[in-house]
Amino acid sequence: MTIVVGYVPGEGGTAGIRLGAMLAESLDTDLVIATVAPTPWTNPSMARVDAEFVDWTDRFIDQAYSEVSAYMNSYPAALTWRFDRLDHRAAATALAAHAAGIGAAAVVLSSTGDGQLGQIVVGSTADALLHRCEVAVGLSPRGYRSPRDGLLTRVTVAIAGDDPQDRAVLARAHELADTMTAPLRVVTFAVRGGAMYPPLVGLAGEDEVLDQWIAQSTRAHEALRADGLVADDTITDLAIGRGWREAVDSIDWMGGEVLLLGSTREGPLRRVFIGSRSTTLIRHSPVPVVVLPR
């Protein structure tokens, strides 16, 4: 049950490695750190590839390996890891295929591009993986720092509250938390949409809709607990707000915690596929996110 980290020298730093190492240590498994060397569109063969480009890709991989090796010296010898070079035109395709080929549990990426520290930024490679990867996809916030002991502290699973698919997500969340010996928390996000001025249904109408959603989610949590899908000692929470930021900030978050999301039903079988709500939640999550395939 290997964890694969996609690493690009000079982009995103070591945040993805930190998340991958935390997951690997908590799962008592090994870590594979892979860098994709871009290949040109060649026709008809590699014999025509410019020698300077080949030299550049070799130096690119050497730089990645040097950075990774230096950083991994800070981890205990008990965490076994290796560096893999992948040659492909598309990083997402290469990482997804490599993870599936070695039976990895997840592909982990750092946030890249613009964004505040602590924010998850979904780049093009992450976006592609979130819509077609056969294994779980983990995303670390910019500048992420894992706990000093390197172990996961809690798994929070987000559920809709009234979706039949929640049961499958909960079962996998329980399995993951048990394997990592970490407590599980179940959260439903009750968010009132951005108000129009004036709102079409009026401010009172929007509040009434939110109140009904809260009541419905509370009943759903109680039903899941009654059916034994949520253990008696598992915390259930409602994250309530007049926007995603307010809802996310309405509940506590721990260092070393991860947010677990399930794929939407629209996705292909055995693949990750996320909808607009999940995408919004990922952007606002203050902790790393792991998205499960269906």
CB atoms within 10 A of CB 127: 13
pLDDT digits over 117-131, tens only?
889 999 999 999 998
- Residue whose token pair is 């900030």: 249
Q: Rounded to the nearest 5°, which phi and psi values hold at 191?
A: -120, 125
Which amino acid is present at 32?
V
Look at residue 274 in the predicted model and tell me its pLDDT. 60
Tokens standing for residue 35: 């860098």
- Band (pLDDT 50/70/90 cuts) for residue 293 is confident
Q: Confidence class of residue 51 from pLDDT cuts 50, 70 and 90?
A: confident
- Name the β-bridge partners of 137: 107, 291
Q: Per-residue pLDDT averaged across 17-31, rounded?
A: 96
Given a cut of 70, whether residue 213 has pLDDT beyond it is: yes
Q: Are 3 and 27 in contact (CB under 8 A)?
A: yes
Question: What integer pLDDT is reported at residue 203 of this predicted model?
Answer: 47
Question: For residue range 249-286, what is the model confidence (pLDDT) as tens digits?
Answer: 999 999 999 999 987 655 444 455 566 788 889 999 99
Decide if domain 3-140 falls under CATH 3.40.50.620.
yes
Q: Do domains 3-140 and 154-253 have the same CATH topology?
A: yes
CA dihedral 8, 11, 13, 17 (to 10 degrees): -30
pLDDT score recorded for residue 106: 96
- 207 phi/psi in degrees, rounded to 5: -60, -40
Q: Where are the domains of the chain?
A: 3-140, 154-253
* Per-residue pLDDT band at 200 (split at 50, 70, 90): very low
Reported as a single tens digit per residue, the pLDDT across 146-198 is 887 789 999 999 998 767 788 888 999 999 999 999 999 999 998 876 443 33
Structure confidence by residue, pLDDT tens digits, 60-117: 999 999 999 999 999 988 999 999 999 999 999 999 999 999 999 999 999 987 778 8
- Torsion angle of the four alpha carbons 78, 19, 61, 44, in this order, in degrees rounded to the nearest 10: 120
Is residue 57 predicted with pLDDT exceeding 80?
yes
Can you give the pLDDT at residue 268? 45
Question: Which candidate, 95, 167, 176, 86, places its Cα nearest to that of 134?
Answer: 95
**What's the topology of domain 154-253?**
Rossmann fold (3.40.50)
pLDDT tens for 216-247 read 888 889 998 898 889 888 999 999 988 899 99
Nearest to 280 by CA among 253, 246, 252: 246
**pLDDT on residue 284:** 93
Q: Which residue has the higher pLDDT, 88 or 212?
A: 88
pLDDT at 211: 82
Q: Is residue 17 within 8 Å of residue 138, measured between CB atoms?
A: no
Q: How far apart are CA 41 and CA 46, in angstroms?
A: 9
